[in-house]
Each structure stands twice: as C-alpha cells, then as structure tokens.
C-alpha cells in the first residue's frame, strides 16, 4: 500500500509540475505575442507601409518570413524562376529560406557545421534534390566565389531572388567578395544590433574566426549600409537581428529611409515566440523529393 501511495503521489507531483511548466510557457507566449503585436503596431504608426510591421514567423527564427514575403511581393515578376541561396543555413529547422522552398523556390544551402549538415541529410534522406542542394563548407573570402559558382550552376542564375548570409563573424567581408560575382535581388544579412547608427563597426577579418557568443561579432547596420553601395536598406527585423537590402535598380517600390529610421535594437528574447507546433524538416522532405 505504501509503495502504491508513493507511486500515486509521484504521478500527481509529475502532473502538477507539467501543469506548472505548461502554465509558465503559456504566460510567456502571451507576453511575447503581446509585445510583438505592440512593436508591429508602433512600426505601422511610424510608417503605414512598414515592412517590419508585415513580419511573421513560420520557419524563420524571428519575423523574417513575413518581411521577406512583403519585399518579394513588391518585386514580383511573372514567369521568373524563383531561387534562393543561404550561407549559414544551420540545421534547416529555423532559417531564412526554408519557408521559400516550401513555396516552390529552388535553393542552395551551405553551413560550416558537419553536425547540422548530417542532421539535414538524415531528416531529408539525402543532400541533393531537384529543388534543394545542401553542402557543408566553412565559408571564407577565398572559397565563397567557388561555392557560389556551384550554387549558380544548380540554380542556373547569378541573380537569385534571395541571398541570405549568417555566419556569425566574417559576414561583411564574405558578402563584399560574393557581390563581385553575384547580383541577388534581395540580400538578407545579420547585423550587430548593439551598435545603432551612426556607429560604423565591423570585426577585423580573420579566416578561422569563431564566434564566442559575445559582442565581438559581425558588423553594425551602418557598416553594412556604407559597404553595400549597390543596395538599398528597406527593413530590419523587429528582433534586431537581420537587415534586408534590395538591389538599387529594383528599389523603386520602396521608400527611401535612413538607417537610423529602420534600425531595430536587439530583442533576442523574441526568438522564443512559438508559432504552431515545433518545426521539423518533414514537410521539406516531402516537397524536395517530388
């Protein structure tokens, strides 16, 4: 009897703990959703056509899926093949182009982590498909041109609709070299939101740079704007993580705003917002294997 009562009490305690965790998560999600809604409303008040206000999350880490959708809608051209390249795709569960590929884009993914690439390969049952090619590579200024040449051959274009770069360090140096051979219509890059405009800072290029999860990382928004002369800044994610640039010859449908107007400070806690069930690569597997 004592043993049975002990088991009963253990089960009740476990249920109570689970209930407490569930209530805590519900409270967190309610607070995050409320903050997100407030930030979107404030962005819309500042600019009725604000791209940041159009943000939402499907497979992006923050609200990049919605912002990118709004940008591409203004660039829409019928009968053009839809293509994307992502350098720093991680394990594919949360990145910039996962959602695009589910919508019919052909994509090329690169990541330095062999563990992330192995996870993608296991989940998808391979790395080469008609709509997606995945490669493991530590990208630097010496190999980025050759890596893009491989992506260009697969996608059959040197001006993909979207090029996303997130390598936690040498991003600016790599992108500057990459843009000598690539002309993406939309460029999505991570900026260091600790430094608002007009602060212009970028880390010194070090070929084997590894981020130590401190503030010495990447480049400030102003450094990006001053380096990407052929591109116009059109938005920043509300999480203060990614900046969106449109090629200058295609930017006629976007208002001209200063970096200070579009800058968003770091709100990294917004990454904890959940939208639906936990992400998987199962839908991607179904789409790319057709």
126: left (phi over 0), alpha (psi -120 to 50) or beta: left
| Token output for 197 | 């405009």
Tell me if residue 167 falls in helix, strand or coil: coil
Which residues, 6+ apart, have CB-to-CB distance to 236 below 8 Å?
52, 191, 221, 242, 243, 244, 262, 263, 264
Read off φ and ψ for residue 234, nearest 5 degrees: -120, -15
The per-residue pLDDT string of the chain (290 residues; one tens digit each, 9 = 90 and over) reads 444 434 434 554 444 445 555 778 888 889 989 998 999 999 998 888 899 999 999 999 999 999 999 999 999 776 678 999 999 999 999 999 999 999 999 999 999 999 999 999 999 999 999 999 999 999 999 999 999 999 999 999 989 999 999 998 899 999 999 999 999 999 999 999 999 999 999 999 988 888 888 999 999 999 999 999 999 999 999 999 999 999 999 999 998 999 999 999 999 999 888 888 899 999 999 999 87
Q: Where are the domains of the chain?
A: 1-46, 48-288
Q: Of all helices (H) and strands (E), which one includes residue 145?
A: helix 144-155
- CATH number of the domain located at residue range(s) 48-288 in this protein: 3.40.50.150
User: Do 34 and 18 contact (CB within 8 A), yes or no?
Assistant: no
Tell me if residue 202 falls in helix, strand or coil: strand
Which residues, 6+ apart, have CB-to-CB distance to 70 below 8 Å?
51, 54
């Amino acid at each position: 009897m004592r043993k049975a009562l002990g088991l009963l009490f253990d089960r009740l305690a476990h249920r109570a703990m689970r209930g407490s965790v569930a209530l805590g998560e519900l409270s967190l999600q309610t607070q995050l959703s409320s903050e997100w809604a407030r930030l979107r409303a404030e962005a819309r008040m500042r600019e009725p056509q604000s791209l940041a206000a159009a943000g939402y999350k499907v497979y992006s880490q923050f609200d990049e899926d919605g912002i990118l959708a709004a940008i591409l809608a203004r660039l829409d051209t019928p009968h053009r093949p839809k293509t994307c390249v992502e350098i720093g795709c991680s394990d594919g569960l949360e990145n910039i182009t996962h959602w695009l590929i589910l919508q019919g884009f052909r994509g090329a993914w690169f990541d330095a982590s062999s563990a992330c690439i192995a996870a993608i390969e296991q989940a998808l049952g391979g790395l080469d498909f008609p709509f997606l090619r995945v490669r493991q590579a530590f990208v630097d200024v010496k190999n980025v041109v050759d890596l893009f040449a491989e992506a260009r051959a697969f996608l059959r274009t040197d001006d993909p609709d979207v090029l996303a770069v997130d390598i936690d360090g040498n991003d600016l140096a790599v992108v500057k070299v990459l843009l000598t051979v690539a002309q993406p219509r939309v460029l999505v890059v991570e900026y260091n939101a600790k430094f608002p405009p007009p602060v212009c800072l970028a880390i010194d290029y070090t070929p084997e740079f590894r981020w130590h999860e401190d503030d010495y990382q990447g480049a400030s928004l102003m450094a990006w704007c001053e380096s990407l002369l052929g591109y116009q800044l059109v938005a920043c994610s509300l999480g203060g993580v990614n900046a969106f640039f449109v090629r200058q010859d295609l930017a006629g449908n976007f208002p001209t705003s200063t970096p200070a107007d579009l800058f968003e400070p770091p709100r990294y806690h917004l990454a904890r917002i959940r939208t639906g069930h936990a992400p998987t690569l199962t839908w991607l597997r179904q789409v790319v294997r057709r």
